[in-house]
Chain A
């Protein structure tokens, strides 16, 4: 779309909102939202798909309450779109007025601070996946799938898929008391690859996958897919799946565990939800839940959340992360800050709206500005506080050293399942692959392992974290939150880490519950 027309659409929305009494308004124009996906299963190309979308979401603050409305298809005539924008603003203002009647205090926005009035951001990339011919992508996937073949008839399902997206958005806002309007243009690019194999024999089923359960992904281009040595990956996955089929059962009990980053990053993800400022304020009471951070909030900056080995950052600037952007959906610049530093609870994720409410909760000015975590999954959705790249920072150990510290324990890798209590206190994860550790050395592979327990106790039991060289970045494409539901991409780096005295179980309930 011509940038002048996009600016005209944005200005009309803001003009109308101001005219109808909004103290704040923002519009997010999804000028282009394109994607593609390819999947191959057991050598058959099952799906080749391309999609495109456009539309606008308009959020207004009137009488201290939000209203939001949206519409799709910006490819129609300019006059039609202008009419739809005006109608959406009117609808949003009416909804805000209705909401205001159902509130006892007004929503206040934290000051923006020193931010540019106009800005642009684009995800760096080397190879545009949309310029790579479909036949090359299909051939690559078929090669991956062929490499997963095995002489063993236990290998039952071989699957590979890849996907890419590119979203260009214009954010614009107006605010009473601020002279200039703000305009932020961003183009975000993601690319992902999934490779997995499933072995089955009777009631026994074992899966191994590349990276996390959803594969690997990142902000960037097709170079991510090309960086994978498909043959080596396939050989490893098949060998491990078959090894698991013949392995003895994981024995339930309390033991030391080393969690490999491909799975530990998901544990970081699930813990990270607890730091969301809107959960703190009960915004997700009626759906995904609350957070145990509520009990710790008044001791922020001093509370021992975890052991000293644990440093967790929120970093929306990390190169290649699914949670990387230039500005959030309130126009706040991307930031990097500690959630947990040397084990101490340091921060939560905030938005402009939650700052004042969190400050009131703790009885002091904990925050002055938003730390920039508001994102919406689409133009049809209001932005929510979403994790950016929430990562466990590397330590100084090596995996070999971690193993050498364990007398009896397990090394756990790959995700099978995940489940959390609504306040994120209690967790339960199933893992794909486990090794026994005996007297500081890796032992047999055991199958059907899982671990469960109290999240605070888990992080406090972390004795050491391995270094950057052994880290992995898990990019989660489909983190769910909010009602109506929103699926968001987030990133999580982790390194292997050692945890003491964790409850391990058998996923099939063999040997007890």
Chain B
């Protein structure tokens, strides 16, 4: 990675070249360094590192725009890229929704200016070696094996344009995902995330995943669907991980364009409408102390804190420049979508949520490979994973095979009976560039969740 001075200098070069070519434009740099260690059945099988950068230049002539993306960053390469963009531009018709170029904000808040240090991960590999060795030792003397992936990444992002904007920030992220397995097919899970690898709570992950696996070993196996009676509703308790998988899909409902186009559940609904229970308050908020802070978007606009739901009422959605123009509203600075979700938690412990199980209750640790069979009504499906329990009379009584659930998401948000305090859940790596997603969310208990089959 280059650091602030060199990155902004490159962006200035791109902007100057655009001006020289007689066009307006916006230049965007994303650079990252990431390092992963993965193991399978306790054996480390991958340790890749990658460092890469992309320079994206959008050239404009009025309402016409074309984008060229390159990995090369010499002045010659930038000049050629802009020439390529200009050649495309002559063939592009006007786009009435092309957003205006962002202006340089005045008086940037301190929390934005402070996010400009490149973090040093020189201890990264030593930390990972210790973590994997510790996981191996935790397995000794048990019938269990711990496998893990430990990911660390740092990124820098910069945007500049011919309207005078020039912005830069850095971010970093580390997380450990630990799977504890037994050859009989049992598997348990825990993860811990932090800003830097040294702050990842390895012992906490080990304790959580191994203790859940040990509980699974002790309990009898029960397939509730063995009775052949088909789908039925159970109360359900979702861990933070399960809530995270669900919420990630649900967050698409708060995308401004999908609301404007009415493909979202929220399309046609008004701000202030009741869409969830009064105990639900959800926001997109990069300023929250625990999330990976992303102070501005690809267009260089400061990302706003956007309340999605306040005490069950619909309060807002995220927009980038083009979707805002289509919808006739202001951009909220989210051209990358919502990526810093904060769901206000409750005060119960996870054990207290289980203790409320006076009716048959499914405890889901994780929701695997979800899908949204109906986006318009936010119908969500997934199978449980990494530990599914059946609770009755206030206690976990049996371990279940993975179960498939299918829920109308917003209806389910109206049936939350209790939540734990919220805490940080991992960011997600994406496919080829570091774009963190982080959630601060609680575990929760939900009444009457539809389960439709089992994996047995």
* Distance of A70 Cα from B47 Cα, bound (Å): 12
CB within 8 A of B406: which of A50, A76, A428, A484? A428
Interface size class of A (residues with CB under 8 A): 35 or more
* Given A51-B68, A285-B179, A484-B48: A419 and B431 interface contact (C-beta under 8 Å): no
Judge whether A417 and B372 touch: CB under 8 Å: yes
Least Cβ–Cβ distance between A336 and chain B, in angstroms: 28
Binds B, one of A376-384, A389-397, A437-445: A376-384
Do residues B263 and A205 form an inter-chain contact, with CB atoms below 8 A? yes
Q: How far is the CA of A202 from the CA of B377 in the complex (A)?
A: 10
Q: List 15 A-B contacts (CB under 8 A).
A: A69-B48, A73-B72, A99-B44, A377-B431, A377-B432, A380-B48, A416-B374, A419-B382, A421-B385, A422-B383, A422-B402, A423-B455, A508-B374, A509-B379, A509-B450
User: How far is it, in angstroms, between the C-alpha of A369 and the C-alpha of B239 when the chains are bound?
Assistant: 44
Q: B3-11, B87-95, B332-340: which one contacts chain A? A: B87-95
With a CB–CB cut-off of 8 A, which chain A residues contact B218? none
Within the complex, the shortest CB–CB distance from A99 to chain B, in Å, comes to 5
Known pairs A68-B47, A72-B52, A452-B404; list 9 more (Cβ under 8 Å): A65-B47, A98-B47, A99-B44, A102-B37, A102-B136, A133-B91, A286-B178, A426-B454, A484-B50
The reply to whether B84 and A50 form a contact with Cβ atoms under 8 Å apart is yes
Contact for A421 among B51, B372, B373, B402, CB less than 8 A: B402
Q: Which residues of A contact B229 (CB under 8 A)?
A: none
Taking CB atoms, residues of chain B closer than 8 Å to A513 are 231, 233, 406, 450, 452
Return the 8 tightest CB-CB contacts between A and B, nearest first. A419-B371, A430-B373, A513-B450, A51-B69, A380-B50, A135-B91, A205-B376, A421-B383
Q: Which of A39-47, A161-169, A327-335, A464-472 contacts B (4 or more CB under 8 A)?
A: A39-47
Closest to A295 in B: B185
* Chain B residues whose C-beta falls within 8 Å of the C-beta of A509 in the assembled complex: 377, 379, 406, 408, 450
The segment from A19-27, A103-111, A180-188, A237-245 that touches chain B is A103-111
Assembly CA distance A381 to B38 (angstroms): 13
Contact with B along A13-38 (1 / 0, CB 8 A): 00000000000000000000000000
A198 to B65, CA, bound (A): 26
> In the complex, what's the smallest C-beta–C-beta distance from A356 to chain B, in angstroms?
13
Query: Does B268 have its Cβ within 8 Å of any Cβ on chain A?
Result: yes
Q: Which residue of A lies closest to B133 (CB)?
A: A102
Binding site for A on B (CB under 8 A): 34, 36-54, 65-74, 77, 84-85, 87-88, 91-93, 95-97, 125, 129, 132-133, 136, 147-149, 151, 177-179, 181, 187, 231, 233, 261-263, 267-268, 322, 368-377, 379, 381-383, 385, 402, 404, 406, 408, 429-432, 450, 452-455
Binding site for B on A (CB under 8 A): 44-55, 65-73, 75-76, 91, 94-96, 98-99, 101-105, 107, 133-135, 138, 156-157, 198, 200, 202-205, 281-289, 377-378, 380-382, 416-423, 425-426, 428, 430, 448, 450, 452-454, 478, 480, 483-487, 503, 505, 507-509, 512-513
Q: Which residue of A lies closest to B77 (CB)?
A: A75
Question: How distant is the Cα of A335 from the Cα of B50 in the complex, in angstroms?
Answer: 30
Task: Assess the A69–B49 pair: CB atoms within 8 A.
Answer: yes
B47 touching A66 by the CB < 8 A rule? Answer: yes
In the bound complex, CA of A357 to CA of B194 (Å):
35
B36 CB contacts on chain A under 8 angstroms: 483-484
Contact A157 B92 (CB under 8 A): no
Quote the shortest CB–CB distance from B61 to chain A (angstroms): 12
CB A430 to nearest CB in B, in angstroms, measures: 4
With A105-B43, A202-B268, A484-B34 in contact, do A380 and B52 touch (Cβ < 8 Å)?
yes
A417–B88 contact, CB under 8 A?
no
Would you call the interface of chain B mostly helix, strand, loop, or mixed?
A: strand
CA distance A29 to B95 in the complex (A): 38
- CB-CB under 8 A from B377, the residues of chain A are 203, 508-509
Which B-chain residue is minimally distant from A49 (CB atoms)?
A: B67
Complex CA distance for A53 and B322, rounded to whole angstroms = 27
- Do the beta carbons of A102 and B376 come within 8 Å of each other? no
Establish whether residues A91 and B66, one from each chain, have CB atoms under 8 Å apart when the complex forms: no
How many angstroms from the CA of A66 to the CA of B46 in the assembled complex? Answer: 6
Chain A's nearest CB lies how many Å from the CB of B186? 12
- Taking a contact as CB atoms under 8 Å apart, the answer to whether A422 and B51 are in contact is no
Query: Which A-chain residue is minimally distant from B178 (CB atoms)?
Result: A286
Query: Cβ of B187 and Cβ of A285 under 8 Å apart?
Result: yes
* B72 with A54: CB separation less than 8 A: yes
Query: How far apart are A271's CB and chain B's nearest CB, in angstroms?
Result: 13
Q: Is the CB of A508 within 8 A of B379?
A: yes
Q: How far is the CB of A442 from the nearest CB of chain B, in Å?
A: 24
Instruction: State how many angstroms separate the Cβ of B450 from the closest Cβ of chain A.
Output: 4
B350 to chain A, nearest CB (A): 23
Q: Are B402 and A205 in contact (CB under 8 A)?
A: no
**A416 CA / B379 CA spacing, docked (Å):** 12
Contacting residue for B48 out of A200, A285, A382, CB 8 A: A382
Q: In the complex, which residues of chain A have a beta carbon less than 8 angstroms from the beta carbon of B50?
A: 69-70, 380-381, 484
Task: Report chain A residues within 8 Å CB of B136.
Answer: 102
**Does B404 lie within 8 Å of A73, measured CB to CB?**
no
Q: What is the CB-to-nearest-CB distance from A391 to chain B, in angstroms, rounded to a whole number?
A: 22
Beta-carbon contact of A428 and B51 below 8 Å: no
With the chains together, A254 CA to B347 CA distance in Å? 43
* A486 to B50 alpha-carbon distance, docked (Å): 13
Which residues of B lie under 8 Å from residue A48 when comparing CB positions?
65-67, 88, 91-92
Q: Which residues of B contact A484 (CB under 8 A)?
A: 34, 36, 48, 50, 151, 429
Q: What is the bound-complex CA distance between A52 and B55, given in angstroms?
A: 10
The chain A residue with its CB closest to the CB of B44 is: A102
In the assembled complex, which residues on chain A have CB atoms less than 8 Å from the CB atom of B261? 156-157, 198, 200
Give A47 to B67 CA distance when docked, in angstroms.
8
Pick from B45, B149, B406: contact of A287, CB below 8 A. B149
Q: Contacts of A287 on B, CB cut-off 8 Å?
A: 149, 177
> In the complex, what's the smallest C-beta–C-beta distance from A384 to chain B, in angstroms?
9
CA distance A134 to B77 in the complex (A): 21
Whether B453 and A426, one on each chain, are in contact in the complex, defined by CB atoms closer than 8 angstroms, is yes
A422–B373 touching, CB < 8 Å: no
Residues of A within 8 A of B373 (CB): 416-417, 428, 430, 450, 507
Instruction: Say yes or no: A73 contacts B97, CB within 8 Å.
Output: no
Closest chain B residue, CB of each to CB of A419:
B371
Contact between chains at A282 and B88 (CB < 8 Å): no
* B77 CB to nearest A CB, Å: 6
Tell me if B408 and A75 are in contact (CB < 8 A).
no
B149 touches A422 (CB 8 A): no
CB of A289 within 8 A of CB of B432, answer no
Q: Which of A102, A200, A430 contacts B43 (CB 8 A)?
A: A102
Chain A residues whose CB sits within 8 angstroms of the CB of B47 once the complex forms: 65-68, 95-96, 98-99
**Judging by beta carbons under 8 Å apart, are A381 and B51 in contact?**
no
Closest CB of chain A to B248's CB: distance in Å? Answer: 14
Across the two chains, which residue of chain B brings its CB closest to A384?
Answer: B46
A282 to B147, CA, bound (A): 9
Between A65, A96, A426, the greatest number of chain B beta carbons within 10 A of the residue's beta carbon is seen for A426
In the assembled complex, the CB of B237 is this many whole angstroms from the nearest CB of chain A, namely 19
B71 touches A157 (CB 8 A): no
**Once the chains bind, are A205 and B375 in contact (CB under 8 Å)?**
yes
- Alpha-carbon separation in the docked complex, A317 to B301 (Å): 48
Check A205–B49 contact: CB distance below 8 A.
no
Residue in A95, A156, A425, A508 whose beta carbon sits within 8 Å of that of B49 in the complex: A95
Contact assessment for B66 and A417 in the assembled complex, using a CB-CB cutoff below 8 Å: no
**Is there contact, CB below 8 Å, between B46 and A430?**
no
Across-interface contacts of A283 in B (CB, < 8 A): 38, 40, 45-46
